[in-house]
């Protein structure tokens, strides 16, 4: 049982929110998250990272009972003593992605496109090389036809002429929500996921399995891909101070930046009330 006055579920984004700019998570943060679990509150890591980065994700949020990955497309229950259980696994059909890319290029111009298709450990993204992609060690150049020959977990796209926020606005006008979900997570690329896939729908799978109402959920985030869970959660929506302006606007509260352990500082104070 949780103590009165505390949320019944806590979910946090990782990169830019829990994880610091040097790609580490402090011992202080790990310790506070352990205290959250000791208080009887399940912890969820809610990230855009795909299942190919599960090991890295588990290391960054060791206290997590659940992982909401691929922006909501993959949900894993890690609390089962018998081992992790996949609760959700969504894919976008290659032919659907091909059609929507054609429509988007007609509206926005030529696209650099990469796809995440494999869930094997540390599997590379496939597609068009772009020097701005920050993870070149996990990339493999492949033709557009090869990339679209299978169902994908997620696709990434950018143009030379649009800021990612501008491209996102164009994509929302061109791509119906029932065809695909579009967002951006701070990497400079539009992210394209299966329809109905976002962090809110991923978290709802967790909440339903636990019998927790969204009004009892506390969430932390920093980028537009966190906005759906900000709209869904009701206990409080907390942005780190380095968050995208739209996330700060949507937040109930703002904590310290990720490099100052803002999530842990907020939770430490919450548990100490």
pLDDT digits (tens, 9 = 90+) for 47-85: 999 999 999 999 999 999 999 999 999 999 999 888 999
> Does the fold of domain 94-193 match that of domain 9-89+197-271?
no
Distance CA(263)–CA(229), nearest Å, equals 16
- Give the integer Cα–Cα distance in Å for 100 and 123: 25
Contact 134, 185 (CB under 8 A): no
pLDDT at 133 over 70: yes
Q: In what order do the strands lie in the sheet with 112-116?
A: 139-141, 125-127, 112-116, 154-158, 190-193, 181-184
Percent above pLDDT 70 for the chain: 99
**pLDDT for the residue numbered 80:** 86
Strand partners, 191: 156, 183
Bridge partners for 237 per DSSP: 219
CA distance 140 to 143: 10
Confidence grade of residue 4 (pLDDT, cut at 50, 70, 90): low
Q: How confident is the model at residue 178 (pLDDT cuts 50, 70, 90)?
A: very high
Residue 19 has pLDDT above 60, yes or no: yes
Q: How confident is the model at residue 137 (pLDDT cuts 50, 70, 90)?
A: confident
User: Mean of the pLDDT values across residues 150-163?
Assistant: 95
Q: Which of 9-18, 132-141, 156-165 has the lowest mean pLDDT?
A: 132-141
Query: CB 91: neighbour CB atoms within 10 A?
Result: 18
pLDDT at 250: 97
Spell out the residues 6+ positions from residue 106 whose beta carbon is closer than 8 angstroms to its own.
none
Q: How far apart are CA 23 and CA 60, in angstroms?
A: 9
In 18-102, where do the E strands start and end? Answer: 43-46, 66-69, 74-77, 85-89
Contacts of 55 (CB under 8 A, 6+ apart): 121, 122
Domain ranges of the chain: 9-89+197-271, 94-193
Q: Please give the residue that has the higher pLDDT: either 136 or 253.
A: 253
**In the predicted structure, residue 2 carries a pLDDT above the cut 70:** no
Q: Which CATH superfamily is domain 9-89+197-271 in?
A: HAD superfamily/HAD-like (3.40.50.1000)
- What pTM, to 2 d.p., does this model score? 0.95
The third-level CATH classification (topology) of the domain covering 94-193 is: 3.30.1240
Q: Where are the beta strands (DSSP E) in 50-193?
A: 66-69, 74-77, 85-89, 112-116, 125-127, 139-141, 154-158, 181-184, 190-193
pLDDT tens string 209-234: 999 999 999 999 999 999 999 999 99
Alpha helices in 109-179 (DSSP H): 144-147, 164-174
């Amino acid at each position: 049982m949780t103590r009165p006055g505390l949320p019944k579920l806590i979910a946090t984004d990782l990169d830019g929110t829990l994880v610091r700019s040097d790609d580490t998570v402090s011992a202080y943060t790990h310790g506070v998250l352990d205290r959250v679990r000791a208080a009887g509150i399940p912890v969820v890591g809610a990230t855009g990272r795909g299942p190919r980065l599960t090991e890295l994700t588990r290391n960054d949020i060791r206290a997590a009972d659940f992982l909401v990955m691929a922006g909501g497309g993959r949900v894993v229950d890690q609390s089962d003593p018998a081992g992790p259980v996949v609760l959700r696994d969504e894919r976008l059909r290659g032919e659907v992605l091909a059609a929507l890319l054609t429509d988007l290029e007609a509206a926005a111009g030529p696209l650099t496109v990469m796809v995440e298709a494999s869930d094997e450990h540390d599997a590379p993204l496939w597609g068009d090389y772009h020097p701005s992609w920050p993870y070149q060690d996990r990339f493999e150049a492949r033709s557009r036809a090869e990339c679209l020959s299978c169902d994908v977990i997620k696709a990434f796209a950018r143009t030379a002429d649009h800021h990612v926020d501008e491209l996102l606005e164009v994509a929302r006008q061109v791509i119906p929500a029932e065809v695909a979900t579009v967002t951006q997570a701070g990497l400079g690329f539009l992210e394209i996921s299966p329809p109905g896939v976002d962090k809110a729908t991923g978290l709802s799978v967790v909440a339903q399995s636990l019998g927790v109402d969204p009004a009892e959920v506390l969430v932390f985030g920093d980028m537009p891909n966190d906005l759906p869970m900000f709209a869904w959660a009701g206990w409080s929506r907390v942005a780190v101070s380095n968050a995208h302006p739209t996330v700060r606007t949507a937040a109930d509260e703002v904590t310290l930046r990720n490099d100052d352990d803002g999530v842990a500082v907020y939770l430490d104070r919450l548990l100490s009330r």
